[in-house]
Amino acid sequence: MTDQTIELLEQVNAARSSNSTLNILGGCSKRFLGREQTADAALDVSKHTGIVSYEPVELVLTARAGTRLLDIEAALAEQGQALAFDPPHFSEQATLGGTLACNQSGPARPWQGSVRDAVLGIRLINGRGEHLRFGGQVMKNVAGYDVSRAQAGAYGTLGVITEISLKVLPKPKATLTLVQTLDAASAIQAMNERAGKSQLLAGACWVDGALYLRLSGSPAVVAGAAKEWGGNELDDELSFWRSIREQQHSFFSSVENVWRFSIRSSATLWRQDAPWIIDWGGAQRWLRGEFDFATLEAEASDAKGQVSLFRGERRNDEVFATLSPGGKLLHQRLKKAFDPQGIFNPGRLYSWM
Amino acid sequence: MNSHTSSLRNDLAKELHRFMSAGCVISDAETQRPYESDGLAIYAAMPLMVVLPETVEQVQNVMRLCHKRGVPVIARGAGTGLSAGAMPREDAVVLSLAKFQNVLDIDPQSRTARLQPGVRNLAISEAAAEYGLYYAPDPSSQIACTIGGNVAENSGGVHCLKYGLTVHNVLSVELVTVEGDLLSLGTEGLDSAGIDLMALITGSEGLLGIVTEVTVRLLPIPSSARLVMAAFDNVQAAGDAVGAVISDGIIPAGLEMMDSHAIIAAESFANAGYPTDADALLLCEVDGDSDEVQDQSVRVEQLFYSLGATVVRMSRNDEERALLWKGRKSAFPAVGRLSPDYYCMDGTIPRGQLSYVLTEMQRLSEEYGLRVANVFHAGDGNLHPLILFDASKPGETEKTEEFGGRILELCVKVGGCITGEHGVGVEKLRQMSVQFSREEIEQFHRVKAAFDPEGTLNPGKGVPVLKNCQEYRAIDAAASTS
């Protein structure tokens, strides 16, 4: 547990005076995400660690951005609590800061919220070398713009996140996963219907011709609902959901590109013969293979959402969904508002930013 | 009014009439009067004019026209806001979204509703009910307030701890920029690439753009809900009981606390059966699957007894549940009956600080010679102190505001913030510099400038200008003339 605020500020200020750029690093578990990293030097946040405060009764935890997810999850588990957004780690070194910057949440996201949803406040070093505090450590706070949540998906382009306060939740008393053989179209329908009726759902994924539904609640209630819902109880549900969350499932082991669609949950499946995983009750879908980005973008738009290249070699082109001209202008202006010299993570999000 | 204002008004009206019908452009004082304030009526001013566009294209045209002429624009929904966020100014056009009242589409499959901004909050749930769905955020003003205003304020309600705020329940918006361009932000997916612009827009108090369409997520109506009421003979014990429920792993749908002033007022108003000799009352609602609700409500009941509750009652049916809620939901007007005027504050605190904050507030109450009643969203730490005062007594309004300001500063001191759900508006500009440093406030101004470079969207609200105190003087002037 170390506080490296002074060192981080010094490095940012050095970059400002030498007009150089910085590539913000945590545990390097998500280096494969986003565009190629081309900055002059690395800014290592992984030594800026430690849980600053944790009040289980308040359901609030504050940690430095370099704190490993594993360490946070262990501290929460001791109190019977957890990160509701169930984040992927991709490696043991994954940090809280990187998880927020890359907006990474796990299979329970549609029902238990995302990392962005859980964030209550942050501290941030902006491109002027100012260490700022936004939001707070309370559940509700509408003073000023929500700069904290705006970081989710910004990939560190607005500044260096140094500290994060989060809402945490009690661990569910029991979970259970039901599996049944089903074609993709029927699975999409089943997931959406179930999500429209039950408050017990905490995971809904279709892979390899089978639908997996995770229930969460008190033991008797979960067991009762399982009988009613039908399907077979999965023996080792933890490893199944881990394989989806961490992308260790065989679907992801190929060297082909993996595309991520974030779309309307009930969108009708297209490209029926292509390899898909349908997660988040239909709202997040993984597609594997070589495709033309523009073609996929048109398909995503028809499905009321977006597509980005999640895993792939081609990282010097754009990988994230194309913004509208107005959206692009706002991104350019916001970048300037936080980082006028363009110090942080140049080009990581978009080539022009 | 000076001749410049008058000729600007005439010119604008002429140009507006080219694309809007006469009844949708209001420029006479009498018809403008209802727009002079929002729900915080002590802040009032007359606008340059009021426009009520009927189409998105008209909104765009109004914005283009005002942008070209450098005229400020203040967006307004139902006007239920409690921080003077929609307070007019003499040089600004008030743009009312009142005509945009249509539920455009409900998709029961994907559980979303596409709405015009003037759709009332409660009307969303009413429209979704036939599909077994509802919209979760439920601010106290939900009968009247609109979804557009909810987005502007990031509205909460009594169910936030479990179901989140507006920011957690909105998927996308259509936004008309200050230049009059139409932008789509967010998608029907659960996230979008890039900077989270939806997070910036939600709670931005009309300073960044005009929301002309909103798509929200709907949830299944819980099959069962139960309310447990518990009375305590001291506030500390009630606070501990709240902590005990949460430590037990239960996330209640609603968890509300009232102090003795609020209990007495609410009971005499609603006859809900609250014990009027209690020092603190808790209302704890659990909802969900019926077996789960049964489990949890019994557990909550046991916890309350074991922590010294003097009375515990559990609702046996929906009528009883509604009656127990009625007292809480009518607490504001009920307290209002105790006094000619009341002023509703809105701070948040870490729950553990409740006892200290209430004691300090009592001390301040004696210092100012003004009574204060407290209702508290205990689950999420959002405190609503109601200061009782008489505006007809010289100086009492100013004293009340000062007292209110001290309460907000107290909230910041214990690690909380100056507004949980009502927004900064004009009312809390002063306290912004208690919660934020000069650099943080400057950063907010730069965010604003990214959306609105010339600063003509709802100017003088939300974020204080540091380099001078003109705004504070304007506030004082407005308050003393109302």
pLDDT tens digits, B205-241: 999 999 999 999 999 999 999 999 999 999 889 988 9
| Best of A123, A142, A158, A309 to mutate (most B CBs within 10 Å, chain B) | A142
Q: Summarize the confidence of residues B315-321 as an average pLDDT.
A: 95
Quote the tokens at residue B266.
């609410």
Q: Summarize the confidence of residues B451-460 as an average pLDDT.
A: 97
Tell me how many helices (H) and strands (E) chain B has.
18, 19
Residues of A in contact with B416 (CB under 8 A): 136, 138
Note whether B207 and B322 are within 8 A (CB).
no
Q: How many other CB atoms sit within 10 Å of the CB of residue A313?
A: 10
Answer whether residue B67 shows pLDDT above 50: yes
CB contact under 8 A, B380 and A199: no
pLDDT of residue B333: 86
Give the Cα separation of B37 and B44 in Å (integer): 5
pLDDT of residue B473: 45
- B203: closest CA of chain A, how far (Å): 6
- Based on its alpha-carbon atoms, the radius of gyration of chain A, rounded to whole angstroms, reads 21
Quote the tokens at residue B448.
């604003």
pLDDT of residue B469: 43
Which is it for strands A41-44 and A22-25: parallel, antiparallel or unpaired?
Answer: parallel
Give the Cα separation of A308 and A326 in Å (integer): 19
Answer whether residue B479 shows pLDDT above 80: no
| Best of A116, A117, A140, A338 to mutate (most B CBs within 10 Å, chain B) | A140
pLDDT of residue B478: 60
Quote the tokens at residue B105.
């589409």
Q: What is the phi/psi pair of residue B384, to 5°?
A: -120, 85
Q: Summarize the confidence of residues A345-350 as an average pLDDT.
A: 98
Pick from A148, A224, A320: which is nearest to B194 by CB? A320
Answer whether residue A140 shows pLDDT above 50: yes
pLDDT of residue B468: 46
Locate the chain A residue with the closest alpha carbon to B206: A145
pLDDT tens digits for range B24-53:
999 999 999 999 999 999 999 999 999 999
pTM of the model: 0.96
Pick from B351, B419, B449: which is nearest to A58 by CB? B351
Answer whether residue A78 shows pLDDT above 70: yes
CB contact under 8 A, B440 and A144: yes
Answer whether residue B284 shows pLDDT above 90: yes
Chain CA centroid to CA B95, Å: 19
Residues of A in contact with B188 (CB under 8 A): 263-264, 304-305
pLDDT of residue B338: 87
CA angle B103, B109, B114 (to 5 degrees): 20
pLDDT tens digits for range A189-208:
999 999 999 999 999 999 99
pLDDT tens digits for range B150-176:
999 999 988 999 999 999 999 999 999
pLDDT of residue A20: 98
